[in-house]
A = this chain, B = another copy of it.
C-alpha cells in the first residue's frame, strides 16, 4: 500500500504566499499576501531575493495563523537552487530543527507530506512546509542568462517567482491533510528540457492511478484534482492517458501552472512551473477557497522533474516524480 491514511489528520492553521510582479498580475493576483513587482524583495541578487521570499512567506503564515515562531517544532523545506540555498539561507533566522528536501517542483507536496506524517505520529505538534522558486535565479541556472534573451519553445513553462508556506498542526479546525502518498521516480525517456510537462506527466499518472486503485475512489469524489505544474502540455497528456486507464478527469482536473497566469496575455507559453508555483497556488488561492467553503475535498499532486542541466548534457533523460496530498475540510475526509 502506498497511500498513508492519517488517523490524527493534522490541520493547516497558517498559510501565506509571496509572489513577484507577473504572478501578481495574473488571475490569482488578489489572493497573494505580498508581492514585489521588481521581484527583488529588497535584495541585491536574485538568489538572495528568493531566500527573502521564503523568510517572508513563513513569517506571514505564522502571523496570519496568530502563531509565534517559537510554536514551530520543525521546518521541512526546499527549492530549485543548487544546494537548495533558497531554503537554507531564507529559513536560517528561525533557528528551528530543519529537514532539507529536494523534490524539484514537487518539493512543497513533499514538505507538506513529511510535516503531516510527523505530526500524525506525535513527533511534533507544529511543522512548517516551505518552498520557493524565482524566475531570475532559475532561468540563469537552468537555461540562459536573462540578458541573452533566449527564444522560448512553445512547450516551455515559466518558472514562477513565488514562495508558499503552510503551518501544519496537531490542533486546529481544518482544512486537514487526511492522506498522503509518496511518488515513485518514473522516466519514460523524454529528454527535451523545454517540455517538462511531458516528462513529469507519467509520474502524475502513476501516482493518480495507484491512488484510485488502492482507495477505490473515483475522480468525481473530489471537488478538484490539482497537479503541481504540468502546464498545458502535461495536463493534456495526463487527461488523455488517465481516460485510457478508465478515469475521466474532465470535470475536476486543473493544474497550478495554468491557474497562476492569464494564458494569452502573459506570454508564459505552457504555464507556470517551479517549486514556488504550486506552493503559492495552494497557500495563496486553494486554502482561501477552503476558508470560504468553496472547496471541501482536493487531491493535490505536485510533480517534479529530477534532472539537472549537467545530466541532460550527458545524454540522460528526465526522471519525474509526483507526491500526493489529500486536503479535506473533514478530519476523517
Contact = CB atoms under 8 A, between A and B. Distances in A.
Interface of A: 2, 4, 45, 47-48, 74, 78, 80-85, 88-89, 91-92, 95-104, 110, 114, 117-118, 120-123, 181-185, 187, 304, 306-311, 314, 316, 319, 321
Contact of A45 (B85, B307, B309, B314): B314
A82 B310 contact: yes
A114 B115 CA distance: 11
A97 B182 contact: yes
B184 A311 contact: no
Contacts of A92: 185, 187, 319
B85 A123 contact: no
A184 B102 contact: no
A100 B187 CA distance: 16
Contacts of A98: 182-185, 321
A183 B101 contact: no
A308 B4 contact: no
A183 B92 CA distance: 12
Given A102-B100, A114-B114, A117-B121, A91 B306 contact: no
A48 B315 CA distance: 10
| The 9 residue pairs across chains A and B that have the minimum distance between CB atoms | A121-B121, A88-B306, A97-B182, A83-B308, A102-B102, A82-B82, A100-B102, A84-B102, A85-B308
Nearest to A97: B182
26 contacts: A47-B311, A47-B314, A80-B83, A82-B309, A83-B102, A84-B306, A85-B306, A85-B308, A85-B310, A88-B319, A89-B316, A91-B185, A92-B187, A98-B183, A98-B185, A99-B101, A99-B182, A100-B101, A100-B102, A100-B110, A100-B304, A100-B306, A100-B321, A101-B102, A117-B121, A121-B121
A27 B194 CA distance: 48
A85 B311 contact: yes
Contacts of A74: 182
Would you call the interface of chain A mostly helix, strand, loop, or mixed? mixed
Contacts of A99: 101, 103, 110, 114, 182
Given A92-B187, A185-B92, A319-B88, A47 B310 contact: yes
A89 to B, nearest CB: 6
A184 B73 CA distance: 11
A316 B100 CA distance: 19
A50 to B, nearest CB: 11
A316 B92 CA distance: 12
Contacts of A308: 81-83, 85
Nearest to A207: B97
Contacts of A307: 83, 85, 88
A73 to B, nearest CB: 9
B183 A97 contact: yes
A319 B102 contact: no
Q: Which of A92, A100, A306, A310 has most chain B Cβ within 10 Å? A: A100
Nearest to A120: B121
B306 A96 contact: no
A45 B308 CA distance: 14
A134 to B, nearest CB: 13
